[in-house]
Chain A
Amino acid sequence: MLRLPILTVIMVLLASFLFFRKGRQALTTPAGKGCVVPKDWLVSNPHPVTPTEHIRPADQTFLTYPEWFLVHSPAEIADYAHERTTTTFPYMSHVKQLWQSYGVVYDQIKGSFAFNTGYHIMIWVIGVSTTVEYALKALYETVVGRLTNPTNGAVVTDEDKFNAQFSQDYVDFIRVLPWYEFDFKARIPQLLKGTSFFGPHFIRKFERKYMLLTELLVKSGYGYLIKIGTKASYDEALLTTAVVINRLPAVPDTLTPIKTYPDGSALLLLPRYEAFHPAVSALVKQGVTFREIAGNNSAILLTVLAPETWQPVSQNLQLVFTQPIVTKPGLKRVALVTTVGSLDKTIRYAQEQNVKIEHVYDY
């Protein structure tokens, strides 16, 4: 029986070739080979005004991208789940986008900053976990889910509706808080009580219940472990981002500065993560410019969602890469780099161009 090992090697090679071959659609298009960001943008601030406890490393604006992709991706899934069952969701495309974009952002900072081991490990942990999760889902959905999927992937069973709601709640949650804080366990009784055992599409109902139950059980267990691990290895994350602005806005709002300086500039604490960019946009509207964000005054990354044909043209920014939104034909994500000093102009430019700012990566 020497035939089996030989055949297996051949099939595995063929399968890898098919998996890695260039698809009809490029899933990540870098703006150029290697580092495309001007080198003088890739420096740490030598004399920050921001107090030390609010300073974060300059390269983290890039390194937070893969982490945020893991918010953008569930968001896309949640949008999809309202329209169609997630059985046909292209999970593997997202896996590829995750690792490809990680490669591109790493290319930008490689050589300019010391290797940020802790951060890379964290990316690998969440990247590998997500890859495993998505691969298992893709496999399961291809082998089993596809066979029970209602015609046209219509969301008709209570279970698929539950899934849509759960996906939405999950994304809304992780925009603000770490995923492992999400209460997966509490969803289990909701799933079991909120859906009938029998009913039309019985097989689909049964199969989805099985699959959702598995997902909830595994994620609550895994989340518990990651929570312990994170607490042990990383400091509690700050929920604010300190910014230094050139002057206080004319119309005083709820934001009271921590400190003001003789030249009129001021130190403010803005909310971090999801709420950061609305706060920044509000300040920009008032004509404010930024001097420091989390202690940094050089490159800062942001992503916008734009029509496929859109091309950014402005001296204040540099295109890094684009990724098609695979479930929304015609739409793409564009990753741009600007400097802290030009952030206001870049935001204004995006608004003029009518493209939606998805996120500003506040280190």
Chain B
Amino acid sequence: MRLKDKLPLSYLLFTTRGRIHRSTYWLVSAFIWSTFYVLHTILYDFVSEGSTYILYPLLIGSLVATANKRLHDTNHSGYWLLAILIPVLGPLWLIYQLGFRRGDKHQNLFGTVPNEAADYFKNDNGQPVPHSAPERIINDVTQLNPVVVADVFRPKSVDELQERLRNTTGPVSVGGGRFSMGGQTASSGSLHIDMRGLNQVIQFSKEDRRITVQAGIRWCDIQRFVDAHDLSVKIMQTYANFTVGGSLSVNCHGRYMGHGPLILSVRSIELVLADGSLVQASRTENSDVFFGTIGGYNGLGIIVSAELDLEDNLAVRREYHNLPRSDYRTYFADTIRDNPEAVFHNGDMYPPTYTNMRAVTWVKTTEKPTVKTRLMPLRESYPLERYFMWAFTETAAGKWRREHIVDPLLYLAKPIHWRNYEAGYDVAELEPRSRTKRTYVLQEYFVPVRHFDTFSAKMSEIFNRYQVNVINVSVRHALPDSGSYLAWAREEVFAFVVYYKQRTNDVAKNTVAIWTRELIDAALSVGGAYYLPYQAHATSEQFHQAYPNARKLFALKKNLDPDFRFHNVFWDTYYQPFLSTGLTG
């Protein structure tokens, strides 16, 4: 932990690093002066006049430190404090600079805007294992899946990566942002390849609305690049922390209307196979590799670049409609599905009854956005979000208050955002203070649109029977996949994104596994599927029923990765048994 987090007050008072806002400066000055006055008076009155001198180093130190930080906020070095030596004008200028001048709106020489994070939340580079270098522990965002890997390699170029694969044998696991939640990024004893170093934009065409990027780049990096050209990523998740490679490998989706799985926006990819060779793939070239790699959890090879479609970066206005769950399907079909104005849509189902919904749609607008920045500003901490999350999950009537008090208040606002802004959330807003005892986990089920009501009823029955601490069920829509082997949308589907809280002890983990399998069955019973980047609780039968083309992919893997180098929980769980029982498995 950094000093900043461990002792925030000492960091503020006694280091000159970083920047602070005007308001913080006023507050901390009030604190310093009142504290000085109190201590000075006490020492003077009750000890001796001389004893007060011990306060001076503290006083002057903290005044200089906080003034430094405030000067940094307007891109001035701390040496400007020397202006105080110019009588009258120096102090006046300093008073204005320190107490009144607005800080720079953007990052400057001395750091990011105060309380804004420098970057999106990231997972670590692997924790060293004591006395056992170069082994490292690779974990994902939930901290539930620690895996000791033999070494971590972070290629800086595709050549370096090819070379490493050519010159080594043995298992390899690949990680992007490591926001998948069930060990998909690591395998015990493997060489772990951290793709985040390959993060360049390779080619960009504004006219064609097309961008080619290295696979370790994150959506937020692409947003920063294309925003200047008034363009926006066509399909991505709501959060922008994820890498393109990790998103391609799960074939992600967002809240976009008229779109569906990520594959619909991919023109071509390049990947490095187990033997180190480089392969191009698209719908027309090596199409089996294309359809096996996207949504393929690093089974065939490591994606090193991708060519993606872009769209216009429009302003969008939020609208909402509260309705009973039973009306949602018709409401959606009649007013949202074919509405060319709708850009984002999701329907939130309120636990614990799951009978009321809030349908939220962001529609195109020519009005001026209500936010100052074009991209979402990042924050250091999300205390309010954290509080609400705690209140919804831990207090009696927390869920009732959310549905009937908190959300109605939050939805009083009529925000207008940019398309890029609304797709720029930081996973940090969901991060709890600690994940040791309890953790937040995601699951997702895909259900053909006509079975929305049947599945909803089954789902809420299961949640209530197991008393699952569900925070939210968000319903999204997706058009059919264009052919990936592990397609979760083989027809038009609703995605049920379930966000819940669980304890981290073994009993709790087991309970989750049990109700998860029941939910999977519920989805399968209506011809649906479940999402693979989360905990691998599904049985082999369930998996194959949900993904009937998995065997095709397995056969392809056997061909392209004959030595089974690309490992992770997913392949260990479902491919390993298949290998031992033969292709007929």
Contacts and interface: CB of A to CB of B under 8 A. Distances in A.
Contacts of B87: 210, 213-214, 217
A213 B38 CA distance: 31
B34 interface: yes
B1 interface: no
Interface string B22-63: 000001101101110110111000000000000010011000
B27 A8 contact: yes
A1 B382 CA distance: 11
Interface in B1-24: 8-9, 12
Interface in A138-169: 142-143, 147
A218 interface: yes
B38 A15 contact: yes
Which residue among A14, A147, A218 has the maximum number of chain B CB atoms within 10 Å of its CB?
A14
A147 B50 CA distance: 11
Interface string A1-41: 11111011001101100110000000000000000000000
A3 B9 contact: yes
B88 A214 contact: yes
Contact of B59 (A11, A143, A213): A143
B38 A210 contact: no
A15 B34 contact: yes
B396 interface: no
Contact of B37 (A8, A19, A213, A218): A19
A8 B34 contact: yes
Given A4-B12, A210-B87, A14 B27 contact: no
Nearest to A8: B31
B27 A18 contact: no
A228 B27 CA distance: 37
Contacts of A19: 37
A210 B35 contact: no
Contacts of B28: 4, 8
Given A4-B28, A142-B40, A12 B34 contact: yes
B34 A210 contact: no
Contacts of A218: 88
Contacts of B42: 18
A143 B60 CA distance: 9
B507 interface: no
Contact of B30 (A12, A14, A143): A12
Contacts of B30: 8, 11-12
B85 interface: yes
B9 A217 contact: no
A162 to B, nearest CB: 15
A15 B88 contact: no
Given A8-B27, A11-B31, A18 B37 contact: yes
Contact of B88 (A4, A18, A147, A217): A217
A18 B41 contact: yes
A11 B38 contact: yes
A219 to B, nearest CB: 11
B8 A3 contact: yes
Contacts of A213: 87-88
B9 A4 contact: yes
A4 B27 contact: yes
Main secondary structure of the interface of A (DSSP, over half): helix
Interface string B456-473: 000000000000000000
A142 B59 CA distance: 12
Contacts of B40: 142
Which residue among A3, A19, A142, A217 has the maximum number of chain B CB atoms within 10 Å of its CB?
A142
Contacts of B12: 1, 4
A217 B92 CA distance: 13
Contacts of A4: 8-9, 12, 27-28, 31
Contacts of A1: 8-9, 12
Contacts of B35: 11, 15
A304 B398 CA distance: 72
Contacts of B8: 1, 3-4
A210 B85 contact: yes
Contact of B34 (A5, A11, A214): A11
A4 B21 CA distance: 14
Which residue among A1, A19, A213 has the maximum number of chain B CB atoms within 10 Å of its CB?
A1
Nearest to B13: A4
Nearest to B11: A1
A14 B88 contact: no
Nearest to B30: A8
A25 to B, nearest CB: 13
B56 A147 contact: yes
Nearest to B92: A218
Which residue among B30, B42, B60, B87 has the maximum number of chain A CB atoms within 10 Å of its CB?
B87
Nearest to A143: B59
A3 B10 CA distance: 12
Nearest to A17: B38
Nearest to A214: B87
A176 B59 CA distance: 43
A2 B35 CA distance: 17
Which residue among A11, A142, A214 has the maximum number of chain B CB atoms within 10 Å of its CB?
A11
Nearest to B41: A18
Interface string B379-420: 000010000000000000000000000000000000000000
Contacts of A8: 27-28, 30-31, 34
B38 A18 contact: yes
B388 to A, nearest CB: 16
Contacts of A143: 56, 59-60
B407 to A, nearest CB: 24
A101 to B, nearest CB: 24
A97 B12 CA distance: 38
Contacts of A12: 30, 34
Contacts of A15: 33-35, 37-38
Contacts of A18: 37-38, 41-42
A190 to B, nearest CB: 16
Interface string B62-96: 00000000000000000000000101100100000
Contacts of A3: 8-9
Contacts of B37: 15, 18-19
A3 B28 CA distance: 11
Nearest to A24: B45
A4 B27 CA distance: 8
A205 to B, nearest CB: 15
Nearest to B88: A217
Contacts of B56: 143, 147
Contacts of A2: 383
A3 B13 CA distance: 13
Contacts of A142: 40
Contact of A5 (B27, B59, B383): B27
Contacts of B9: 1, 3-4, 7
Which residue among B34, B37, B56 has the maximum number of chain A CB atoms within 10 Å of its CB?
B34
A45 to B, nearest CB: 49
Contacts of B88: 213-214, 217-218
Interface string B231-253: 00000000000000000000000
Top 6 nearest A-B pairs (CB, nearest first) are A11-B34, A15-B34, A8-B31, A15-B37, A214-B87, A12-B34
Interface of A: 1-5, 7-8, 11-12, 14-15, 18-19, 142-143, 147, 210, 213-214, 217-218
21 contacts: A1-B12, A3-B9, A4-B12, A4-B31, A5-B27, A7-B31, A8-B28, A8-B30, A11-B31, A11-B34, A11-B38, A14-B34, A14-B38, A15-B33, A15-B35, A15-B37, A18-B42, A143-B60, A214-B88, A217-B88, A218-B88
Given A12-B34, A18-B37, 7 more contacts: A1-B9, A4-B9, A8-B34, A11-B35, A14-B38, A143-B60, A214-B88
